[in-house]
């Protein structure tokens, strides 16, 4: 009892924004830890879709696997590694779900956006509780986003989820590809956390609005609107960035859907980047992090810290997948087929 108290106090002291940030950063660390595993283990854990083909087929011996050194020495090490591989293969073969289940991410995202809007409109207790708790904690009670920023970022998130649902139903080709359920659950967790992250640093503005509405109803008099609007410069920069990435991601998804069989996509952004749809995803979340940065005094910060952690997760998660995609293309079509292309981030990666 004595030992659990500090842990409980610590948990109660963490703001909802802090929980979201912790989730993104821990998930990023977990993905990086998996990425550092020997190649065959990594493939079993993270590969899905086309990339999974060589996991199950007779893949060429991997060059970066530390296992190779051990296997050559034979003996007990060899047995141990084979056992670990066999266990991983069995565990990952249990919960294989269709790649098409990605649609659940966007349904959950849209549902959560509608849920939080409903909470705001009807002065729901869950929104009030989370917003109050965020405002009360030391690190959650910093500068707040304005209410207009919350509405803007919430709307763009709805737009992204709606487009992805549309693509899943009307654009993407039917797929037999599978992925490990843990990977899918991580994705669901991401969209749940993002649905809170888009407003949680605006808790103060939301509570002011809610209290204003309550007073208005009680007193029967119109309230003065005090919202400070959106920071002009950052909005002027980030809204076009969002729509550029949003439209180009759609183009990439159309190009992928147009391929008759697994091949290297050509044309548009695919000419210089292996996974440009991932580049666009990173830019979409980066633009949201800019748009949601609390203005505050002294120009505030340039990025919303909670959404910045979401950007870190997106970059790490998709970066690992983009790297595996490159490896898969190199093995299937030869290194020359994608020579000179960036994996995901031009001039960097
Ligand atoms: N926010 C996040 O953390 C997060 C996480 C994951 C994904 N996403 C987003 O969700 C979108 C889809 O991601 P994803 O990982 O599913 O993309 P993906 O693996 O590239 O697959 C997208 C679609 O294209 C097909 N495809 C991929 N490469 C192909 C090729 N070389 N030849 C023919 N068809 C190919 C896939 O078919 P198969 O189904 O047969 O593989 C699938 O239908 C992306 O825009 C990504 O940014 C976001």
3-state secondary structure 223-288: CCCCCCCCCHHHHHHHHHHHHHHHHHHHHHHHHHHCCCCCCCCCCHHHHCECCHHHHHHHHHHHHH
For the chain, domain boundaries: 15-53+67-338
* Ligand 1 and 249: CB distance under 6 A: yes
pLDDT(304) > 80: yes
* Ligand 1 and 49: CB distance under 6 A: yes
* Ligand 1 and 46: CB distance under 6 A: no
Atom of ligand 1 nearest to the CA of 278: 47
The pLDDT tens digits for 42-81 are 777 777 777 766 554 434 334 444 444 444 444 556 676 7
* Ligand 1 and 191: CB distance under 6 A: no
pLDDT(256) > 70: yes
Atom of ligand 1 nearest to the CA of 172: 43
Residue nearest to ligand 1 atom 7, measured at CA: 318
Which are the contacts of 67, defined by CB distance < 8 A and separation ≥ 6?
38, 40, 81
* Ligand 1 and 175: CB distance under 6 A: yes
Give pLDDT, residue 221: 56
* Least confident segment among 89-93, 239-243, 326-330: 89-93
Angle at the Cα of 177 (from 172 to 183), degrees rounded to 5?
100
Q: Where is pLDDT greater, at 202 or 82?
A: 202
The alpha carbon of 50 and the centre of ligand 1 are apart by a number of angstroms equal to 9
The alpha carbon of 305 and the centre of ligand 1 are apart by a number of angstroms equal to 27
Residue nearest to ligand 1 atom 3, measured at CA: 314
Atom of ligand 1 nearest to the CA of 321: 15
Return mean pLDDT, the chain. Answer: 85
Query: Which of 182, 256, 345 has most ligand 1 atoms within 8 Å of its beta carbon, as the pocket-test mutant?
Result: 256
Average pLDDT over residues 136-162: 86
Grade residue 14 by pLDDT with cuts at 50, 70 and 90: confident
Q: Which of 52-56, 88-92, 276-280, 326-330 has the highest mean pLDDT?
A: 276-280
């Amino acid at each position: 009892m004595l030992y659990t108290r500090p842990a409980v106090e610590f948990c109660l002291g963490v703001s909802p924004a802090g929980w979201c940030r912790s989730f993104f950063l821990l998930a990023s660390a977990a993905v990086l830890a998996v990425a550092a595993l020997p190649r065959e283990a990594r493939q079993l854990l993270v590969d899905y879709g086309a990339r999974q083909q060589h996991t199950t087929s007779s893949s060429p011996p991997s060059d970066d696997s530390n296992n190779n050194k051990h296997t050559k020495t034979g003996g007990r090490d060899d047995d141990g590694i084979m056992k670990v591989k066999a266990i991983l293969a069995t565990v990952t073969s249990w919960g294989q779900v269709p790649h098409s289940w990605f649609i659940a991410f966007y349904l959950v995202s849209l549902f959560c956006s509608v849920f939080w809007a409903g909470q705001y409109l009807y002065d729901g207790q869950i929104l009030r509780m989370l917003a109050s708790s965020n405002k009360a904690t030391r690190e959650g009670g910093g500068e707040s986003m304005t209410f207009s920023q919350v509405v803007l970022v919430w709307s763009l998130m709805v737009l992204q989820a709606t487009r992805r649902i549309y693509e899943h139903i009307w654009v993407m080709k039917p797929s037999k590809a599978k992925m490990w359920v843990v990977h899918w659950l991580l994705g669901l967790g991401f969209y749940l956390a993002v649905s809170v992250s888009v407003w949680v640093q605006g808790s103060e503005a939301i509570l002011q609005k809610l209290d204003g509405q309550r007073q208005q109803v009680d007193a029967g008099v119109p309230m003065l609107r005090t919202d400070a609007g959106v920071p002009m410069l950052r909005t002027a920069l980030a809204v076009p960035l969002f729509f550029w990435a949003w439209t180009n991601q759609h183009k990439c998804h159309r190009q992928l859907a147009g391929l008759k069989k697994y091949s290297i996509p050509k044309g548009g952004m695919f000419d210089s980047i292996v996974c440009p749809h991932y580049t666009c995803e990173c830019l979409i979340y980066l633009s949201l992090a800019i748009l949601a940065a609390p203005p505050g005094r002294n120009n505030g910060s340039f990025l919303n810290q909670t959404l910045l952690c979401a950007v870190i997760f997106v970059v790490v998660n998709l970066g690992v997948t983009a790297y595996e995609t490159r490896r898969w293309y190199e093995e299937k079509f030869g290194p020359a087929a994608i020579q000179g292309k960036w994996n995901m981030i031009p001039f960097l990666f």
